[in-house]
Chains A and B, each alone.
Chain A
């Protein structure tokens, strides 16, 4: 490294007009890569997409009869309709393969110390004495958090879709053309909700371990509560007490899947719960941050 004089010098370079949240986005995104666990989960997602791609290659290129066989089996097994047809329903299943083993653990791994760390180090006072507002801070952090989650889940799924479309027989595109939009919408909403929820939680617990525990406990407890309430009342709306049920219903609705929904919570209710969790988390986040940095 070049020798640098230990004296103060005025800055004579140019200043950019970049919004103040942009460096925060970059820093948050880079921070995600530093964790070996995060890297493992991202690589796991890529590995999963590779495995599905190889499977698709065999089904569609090497042994084309496999596809027809699988579809026939699906029709026979489903009774009411095709269950293994390579349409949006398959993508709904694939989506959940990425949500539970990758998106949810990543949201805890990425978010557990994101704002809690800034609270512990009192970094907010330094941030807000600079040209960034609490809203800009939350925006930059959440955007980076959500982008990272989508990079690890949506990109592999889109890759699978592209491979599927390019290798499938003619006419297949028509059946799955709305899938990318549905995947983006459902994963985007799930990732955003989780990002806001985990960040809001860290402003309360201020501890990574507690945040992770609370997320797991809430998920498991809500997952038990929903079916119990449904059994007691026989009312499908009660299933909305389970977080996983809402993820299923919302992604199902956004993918336009032909899934029977009689034994599921209504789409509108599940979507409202997602939006309510996001909204309340955002309010909590902004209030706690402003209070911490004494912004009145």
Chain B
């Protein structure tokens, strides 16, 4: 397992111990154990990996078949409803009260979380302004566009000012502009106000932008749990080399590298990644290859993997 289960758990925002969730005979989550100490956690996985099941189990919407869920150090099942005052949840599917205005529905949701009616109404206005729905707040949510409904759901998750924000595919169905806007809002809440974030998505760039930690789920199992910086860190001493303009685009340089037993991958724009399965690629080795192939080296830096590489590797290898 990627986490040390013997470590103290007092400060954990979310801790899962051997969590198992079943739908009849189907095991949606199988013995998942992990700990989220706080910050922003990305929950990655292909469709059907168990992300939504995990979130629903954390919220108490699903009763686990086994294991334990702890949120802010409290047993989620025992603390139950009171614990949910500290959690804001944005579901993947549309979720709204029909037949009343956005601001009334929002205030109603805040009251259920323990805010006084006057505070709840004020807060409903505030969060709708924050997500950019101030002008639309007296309209019924039924009449909102897809993008507006996504922002409405975010506002509903924030209206009672939670300490932990759980977002399930918040950028689903948004156009590029709407997506950027949504990510900015989430980023602001998380970084400026210290609200812990659990962000489930299959859009890796969104997770890479917002999260500092990642759990990768596949077929109900936790494949990987690590920080984003560790996952995208330099891989096995590989180097990314930027070459000067040449007629062959660096083909001769790559051929020389391969002849020397290195792997050379074209990254486009005259950039190449050189790696060796067991050894660190040294800078002087790069310069030597450039010299023999007649290429001009403009820059060398450690090669970083994208989160997508790490994600695919986790799924393929099943490394824990």
Q: Which interface residue of B125, B127, B129, B158 has the most chain A CB atoms within 10 A?
A: B129
Closest to A24 in B: B112
User: Contact flags (1/0) for A1-25 with B, using CB distance below 8 Å?
Assistant: 1001111111101111110100110
Given known contacts A23-B108, A126-B109, A6 and B132 CB-to-CB distance under 8 angstroms: yes
Distance in angstroms between the alpha carbons of A20 and B120 in the assembled complex:
14
Complex interface: chain B residues within 8 A of A123 (CB): 95-98
What 8 additional pairs, Cβ within 8 angstroms, besides A4-B134, A122-B94, A130-B112?
A1-B125, A6-B134, A8-B130, A15-B85, A113-B98, A126-B89, A130-B84, A294-B61
Q: Which interface residue of B56, B84, B112, B114 has the most chain A CB atoms within 10 A?
A: B112
Nearest 10 CB-CB pairs, A to B? A11-B161, A23-B111, A131-B81, A15-B114, A129-B89, A121-B98, A117-B98, A126-B95, A122-B95, A6-B129
Complex interface: chain A residues within 8 A of B56 (CB): 294
A222: interface (CB < 8 Å): no
B146: interface (CB < 8 Å): no
Complex interface: chain B residues within 8 A of A171 (CB): none
Complex interface: chain B residues within 8 A of A293 (CB): 61
A158: interface (CB < 8 Å): no
Q: Is the pair B125, A120 in contact by a Cβ cutoff of 8 Å?
A: no
Q: Which interface residue of A1, A8, A122 has the most chain B CB atoms within 10 A?
A: A8
Distance in angstroms between the alpha carbons of A293 and B60 in the assembled complex:
11
Complex interface: chain B residues within 8 A of A23 (CB): 108, 111-112, 117
User: Contact flags (1/0) for B57-90 with A, using CB distance below 8 Å?
Assistant: 0011111000000000000000011101101010
The answer, among A113, A117, A122, A126, for a CB contact under 8 Å with B156, is A126
A127: interface (CB < 8 Å): yes
Q: How many residues of A contact B (CB 8 A)?
A: 42
Q: Which interface residue of A14, A294, A295, A296 has the most chain B CB atoms within 10 A?
A: A296
Distance in angstroms between the alpha carbons of A9 and B125 in the assembled complex:
12
Q: Is the pair B108, A27 in contact by a Cβ cutoff of 8 Å?
A: yes
Complex interface: chain B residues within 8 A of A4 (CB): 125-126, 129, 134
Given known contacts A15-B85, A20-B81, A125 and B93 CB-to-CB distance under 8 angstroms: yes
B192: interface (CB < 8 Å): yes
Distance in angstroms between the alpha carbons of A17 and B115 in the assembled complex:
9
Given known contacts A130-B84, A133-B81, A295-B62, A11 and B95 CB-to-CB distance under 8 angstroms: no
Q: Is the pair B112, A127 in contact by a Cβ cutoff of 8 Å?
A: yes
Complex interface: chain A residues within 8 A of B240 (CB): none
Q: Is the pair A132, B62 in contact by a Cβ cutoff of 8 Å?
A: no
The answer, among B115, B117, B134, B192, for a CB contact under 8 Å with A8, is B192
Q: How many residues of B contact A (CB 8 A)?
A: 51
The answer, among A14, A117, A130, for a CB contact under 8 Å with B109, is A130
- Chain A, interface SS category: loop
Complex interface: chain B residues within 8 A of A118 (CB): 97-98
A-B contact pairs, 17 of them (CB 8 A): A7-B130, A8-B193, A13-B116, A15-B113, A20-B114, A26-B117, A117-B98, A121-B141, A125-B91, A126-B96, A126-B109, A129-B84, A129-B89, A130-B109, A130-B112, A293-B61, A295-B62
Distance in angstroms between the alpha carbons of A9 and B159 in the assembled complex:
10
Distance in angstroms between the alpha carbons of A219 and B274 in the assembled complex:
81
Distance in angstroms between the alpha carbons of A19 and B60 in the assembled complex:
18
CB under 8 Å from chain B, chain A span 280-296? 293-296
Q: What is the minimal beta-carbon distance from A152 to any residue of chain B, in angstroms?
A: 21
Complex interface: chain B residues within 8 A of A136 (CB): 81
The answer, among B94, B116, B193, for a CB contact under 8 Å with A10, is B193
Complex interface: chain A residues within 8 A of B291 (CB): none
Q: Is the pair B97, A9 in contact by a Cβ cutoff of 8 Å?
A: no
Given known contacts A130-B84, A130-B109, A8 and B188 CB-to-CB distance under 8 angstroms: yes
B183: interface (CB < 8 Å): no
Closest to A118 in B: B97
Complex interface: chain A residues within 8 A of B112 (CB): 20, 23-24, 127, 130-132
Q: What is the minimal beta-carbon distance from B95 to any residue of chain A, in angstroms?
A: 4
User: Contact flags (1/0) for A133-174 with B, using CB distance below 8 Å?
Assistant: 100100000000000000000000000000000000000000
Q: Is the pair A125, B192 in contact by a Cβ cutoff of 8 Å?
A: no
CB under 8 Å from chain A, chain B span 140-170? 141-142, 156, 158, 160-161
Q: What is the minimal beta-carbon distance from B115 to any residue of chain A, in angstroms?
A: 6
